[in-house]
Structure 1
Amino acid sequence: MKSTLCLGLVCLVALSGCRNAQKEASKEKEDVTAVVAPNFQNKGHELVYKMVQKVGDYNKLLQKQDVVYTYTYQTPDGKTDFSTEKYLFDGELSYGLLKQHERTLPELDGTIEQGYDGAEYWIKHNGAELQDPAIVKRAVFSRATNFYWFAMMQKLLDPGIKYQYVGEKISNGIGYDVVKIDFESNDNKPKDTYQLYINQQTNLVDQFLFTVVDFGKIDPMLMKLEYENVEGILIPTKRKYKASNWDALETKDPWILVNWTNIKFNNQLTRAEFKK
């Protein structure tokens, strides 16, 4: 009887040890997978990859599932938009509720809703759907742009991006690696160009230049960023921008201010909430 009991204990310990070994091996395999870097196009691509690892890659956003936050946009003349933004990261679904929109469609009194449900963009005014092509185009731009700005750093590793290392530059006493970003076009339409200033000490993008080709702005705007750590992800929650040139000239013109506040992940949003 004692022999049988001892044998059982030995088997139990051995089985437990085997399971622990399997777990450790699996964990090591996951860890190895997590640190495997892609084949870099060039130095610029490698620098962007390192930056994304610093802020948190798109997989980390997917693990958060969704986000809800308050979006505030203010122009130099004081006109302000307040929007409650909701995004579902799987599929890049986007919704915005604007209760104050002094800049966006100010001629419409009352509440504006915009959405993208994964297949269709839509806009409503006081609950009624609007179908004017010019107004719908504004909704398409806002939904795509607002989502992109939020997830921009992560999406800079998307397929179809070309990277060019421009060189080093000193700005305000800080050393930067400058990387140009171009996007492949599947419809032969011109795409925006970005130029990132990656801080050599922090690996973060402190500022970048960008165009807005959809609205005819081919001369660059200069965007400056301040980050906040939200549940382990570094998010550029304070942003300001104005017209510049490709040397990132900072003029005396006033800034357009954009702030993201009350950021909350994992809100259990459903796809149905993005339908019109």
Structure 2
Amino acid sequence: MSPDNPEVIFTCGYGYINNAYRIQTSYTTDNGTTWIRDTIMDSIARVNACIFDPFVPNRILLGGDSIYNYKLLLVSTDLGNTWEHTGNGLSGIVYSLAASVRTPGLMYAGTSQGFYRSTDGGASWNRTGTFTMVRSVVIDPANDSLIYAGTSTGIFRTSDGGATWVQDNEGLEVTDILTLAFRGSAPRMIFAGTNGGGVYVTTPPTGIGEVQSGAAFRPAKLQVLPNPVRGEFQVFVDGDAGELVQGAIYDPSGRLVHTLTPQIAGSGRVHWLVNMRGCGKGVYFLRVQARTGEVTGRVVLTD
């Protein structure tokens, strides 16, 4: 499902067509009322994973394996109308893809060869960890340094973005992991689907996304006025009082273009006056964060 529009849903799979496996896709822009189907005929490949880029509208990544290249990672910036190969440094059959909703360009991949990290939206990748056969990857939506990798030998966890890992198999009677799911809202949970052993659940460690003490600021509503705008505009965010709130503005490539001065949400509303004259016209993305949540929005510059 598109993070920009819940009525836009993209699905993928593969079929055996003309004596070869071909990638097949379907998408809807009206919440499933009508669908547009396509077969990527020049792709002799299978696809296992599909994600939207949370910061670039209509940008989609597909991961799988190719008869010619083994590793397969395709990217589209137009909702699947055209595709390009990407993934420098990535190796093995791609089983899982995950994108941070907090940091533009930050993505993770699980492959038959291991766990990989990208900071440029999937263009280039670096391996971290020594385990292989990573079938599923999930990210804490409140803290993108907390990641779980489900493998054929169990679950591995990192709290520093992949720099170090620990095995987290306590309570698992079957360690052949097929899929993982992260519930970010309270009560926070990790679900693990195993090969023949059922589903297990655990509670993730306390992180920056959990309420620990005092009053909490929970971003509830973001307003940008005026919008569209020529250069100067105001940003309003409503929420509960008592937290340090900070924000940033990014261009469509994920590059930071403006930092909003941190403020204390003393009265339940935070306000910024922003001047982006000279940044160039186009769509920009806002992200306002507090310890217990975040809210995102867009602003359109016309000059």
Highest RCO, 1 vs 2 (Cα 8 Å, sep ≥ 6): 1
Q: Which has the larger radius of gyration?
A: 1
More strand by share: 2
Q: TM-score range by the shorter chain?
A: under 0.3
Instruction: Give TM-score, length-normalised by structure 1.
Output: 0.25
Instruction: Give TM-score, length-normalised by structure 2.
Output: 0.23
More helix by share: 1
